[in-house]
Amino acid sequence: MSRAVVLRASGLRKVFGGRVVACADIDFELAAGEVVGIVGESGSGKSTLLRCLAGLAAPDAGTVEIAIDGGERVDLWQLDEVARAQALRSALGLVHQNPRDGLKLGISAGGNVAEPLMVSGIRHYGRLREVALDWLERVEVPRRRIDDLPSTFSGGMQQRLQIARSLAPGPRILLLDEPTGGLDVSVQARLLDLLRSLVRELGVAALIVTHDLGVARLLADRLLVMLRGRVIEAGLADQVLDDPQAPYTQKLVASMLRI
């Protein structure tokens, strides 16, 4: 019944400029294959939290443990830079809100998918191209676009390409920072449906930041609600949305009408 924990944050804290407490006392676990949503108003520390988990920002206190290949967990911020980069490469993928932050704009769509695979050891050109084509198909980017630059893609397609790039190395953890943020509603629906089926098929554990409670209900098994850098409520996603306990969560849910 108890599934393996693939990520654990304990006592996580991040302060900017000595006074802005972006994250404080954050404790949570992500189990293999589950989808956890993070909701909360702008400035509540959601992106900072993801950056600490993804190795992009060093926390001021606390630990981030992630499960690596053998299932063994390592303390991310105790590793030296090289070891940390290596642990992250195969274990964790990050999808930025803005696809331009997660893609290499100067290389082709196929190159964007293949590059992280090359770093992890696959060298054979034909094999790389095959894998890239397969991923483009999975994220519904036409195969014929493999040699095109991502800058020629629509926003929705860029985001799908970013997802392919982050999933191609086969991570067990995927972090997503408002992946549908800048997209039209109709394009969002397609992306969500795609994410939902990919995450299930691959059994990857996902932590998804969203300001859209409808998205949270659709995708997440559990929810964390953040306010001023802290997790103020956590629970089963439908329970948090239908029977919110904290005053702030009640306000947040009430402001979204029917979801």
Partner 1 sequence: MEPLTDAMVCLRGVGKSFTFHSRGLSVEALRGVDLEVRRGECVALDGPSGAGKSTLMRTLYGNYLAGAGTVRVRHGGELINIAGADPHIILEVRRTTLGYISQFLRVLPRVPTLDIVAEPLIAIGTSREAARERAAELLEKLNVAPALWSLPPATFSGGEQQRVNIARGFAVPCPILLLDEPTASLDAANADSVIALIEEARARGTAMIGIFHDAQVKARVATRQLTLTRSS
Tokens of 155: 């926003």
Query: x/- site string to ligand ADP, residues 48 to 87, per CB under 6 A?
Result: x---------------------------------------
Cβ-in-10-Å burial (0-12, 13-18, 19+) of 105 comes to exposed
Q: Which of 9, 34, 47, 166 binds Mg ion (CB under 5 A)?
A: 47
**Binding to ligand ADP by residue 22, rule CB under 6 A?**
yes
Cα 204 to its chain centre, rounded Å, is 11
How many C-beta atoms lie closer than 10 Å to residue 106's C-beta? 10
CB proximity list for 97: less than 8 A, separation 6 or greater: 47, 177, 178, 179, 181, 182
**Per rule CB under 8 A, is residue 190 in the interface with partner 1?**
yes
Write the Ramachandran bin of 170: left for phi over 0, alpha for psi from -120 to 50, otherwise beta: left
Binding part of the chain for ligand ADP, among 45-53, 70-78, 85-93, 152-160 by CB under 6 A, reads: 45-53
- Residues 24, 28, 34, 45: which binds ligand ADP (CB under 6 A)? 45
Interface region with partner 1, contact rule CB under 8 A, candidates 88-96, 145-153, 174-182, 245-253: 245-253
CA gap 40, 42 in Å, rounded:
7
Tell me whether residue 40 or residue 111 sits nearer to ligand ADP (CB atom): 40
- Phi and psi at 45, nearest 5°, equal 105, 10
Regarding 97 and contact with ligand ADP (CB under 6 A), the answer is no
Give strand ranges (E) for the chain: 5-16, 20-31, 35-39, 61-67, 73-75, 92-95, 173-177, 205-209, 222-227, 230-236
111 vs 156, which CB is nearer to partner 1? 156
Q: Which of Mg ion, ligand ADP, partner 1, none does 45 bind, CB closer than 5 to 8 A by kind?
A: ligand ADP
Which residues contribute to the site for partner 1 (CB under 8 A)?
1-3, 31, 34, 189-190, 192-193, 196, 200, 217-218, 221-222, 235-236, 238-239, 242-243, 245-247, 250-251, 254
